[in-house]
Amino acid sequence: MKLSESAGSETTGSSQNGVVASDTVLATFDLDVRYGAVVALEGVSVHVGKGEMVALIGPNGAGKSTLLNTLSGIKRPAGGRIVLNGKLAHVPEGRQVFPELTVEDNLRLGAYRGGSRDPGPMYELFPQLQRLRYRPAGGLSGGEQQMVAICRALMANPDVLTVDELSQGLAPLVVSDIARHLVELNRQNGTAVLLVEQNAQLALNITSRAYVLENGRIGMEGRSSDLISDPAVRAAYLGGVR
């Protein structure tokens, strides 16, 4: 994974400052990200442990996509540090499958940075993709395209998967099906997941830890089970049910 060379980013684990625990797969330290004069992230420090499932929730415009895009090297940070212990693969907001390419060609493209080019394991994870393998991805349903986007990322055999808005535009049953597969993948392969999700209930249900991003800063963090019963989180993100 190519990370921005600016701002002291590094791609290997470091114990120089003694801060990066050996079980960390991904961490940021005081990350600042701007779009021109717009400050999108300020002083953001997050970490994901090996094999951990972590949620990132927060309102529209909070900077969630910016954080994932910076982690995956699409956006350069203005300051701070990123530590990645292993390989990261990103499922972008809106899925962004290649519509004219077949499902299988979309998957194979995911292996361009390494990993096996054999899509077989992906059809084991999402069996319904197998019968669609020679269909152009653009003709698939939203849920099927999300499966393709996830599998395309998994083809790189990542240590940590970042997913931007898993449930966006999908029917609730489809979402819970895909979410179940993510949990299964995490349990079976130990792939760590950093999940950005508008549906805070879903995100907190399937992760062990979570961050709340508000206005470019981490407002709250903690165990998902604690956040789910936190009055402030309930009021802001879980429909105010107490």
The site for ligand ADP (CB under 6 A) is made up of 35, 38, 40, 58, 60-66
The alpha-helical segments, DSSP class H, found in 130-242 are 142-154, 172-189, 200-206, 224-227, 231-237
Of 65 and 85, CB closest to ligand ADP: 65
- Which H or E element spans position 14? none
Tokens standing for residue 127? 């069996």
Of the pair 11, 198, the CB lying nearest ligand ADP is at 198
Select 62 or 227, whichever has its Cβ closest to Mg ion: 62
Residue 60 binding: pick among ligand ADP, Mg ion, none (C-beta 5-8 Å cut-off by kind): ligand ADP
Q: Tell me which residue of 160, 106, 156, 109 sits closest to 133, measured CA to CA.
A: 106
* Phi, psi dihedrals of residue 183, rounded to the nearest 5°: -65, -40
Shortest distance, CB of residue 200 to Mg ion, whole angstroms?
14
40 vs 161, beta carbon nearer ligand ADP: 40
Closest to ligand ADP by CB, 119 or 216: 216
Closest separation between CB of residue 39 and ligand ADP, Å? 8
Asked if 63 and 33 count as a contact pair (C-beta separation under 8 A), the reply is yes
Burial of 16 (0-12, 13-18, 19+ CB in 10 A): exposed
Q: Are 28 and 183 in contact (CB under 8 A)?
A: no
Closest approach, Cβ 99 to ligand ADP, in A, equals 23
From the list Mg ion, ligand ADP, none, partner contacted by residue 61 (C-beta under 5 to 8 A by kind): ligand ADP
> With the C-alpha atoms ordered 49, 54, 59, 61, is the resulting torsion angle positive or negative?
positive
What is the distance between the alpha carbons of residues 93 and 202, in angstroms, rounded to a whole number? 17
Of 13 and 142, which has the nearer Cβ to Mg ion? 142
Which partner from the list Mg ion, ligand ADP, none does 80 bind, CB cut-off 5 to 8 Å by kind? none
Site track 60-89 with Mg ion (rule: CB under 5 A), x = hit: ----xx------------------------
**Least distance from C-beta 117 to ligand ADP, angstroms?**
32
Given Mg ion, ligand ADP, none, residue 62, with its beta carbon under 5 to 8 Å by kind, binds ligand ADP
Asked if residues 223 and 209 have their Cβ atoms less than 8 Å apart, the reply is yes
User: Is the separation of the CB atoms in 88 and 68 below 8 Å?
Assistant: no
Q: Does 186 bind Mg ion (CB under 5 A)?
A: no
Shortest Å, Cβ 116 to ligand ADP: 32
Min dist. Cβ of residue 64 to Mg ion (A): 5
Residue with tokens 């997913």: 163
Contact residues toward Mg ion (CB under 5 A) are 64-65
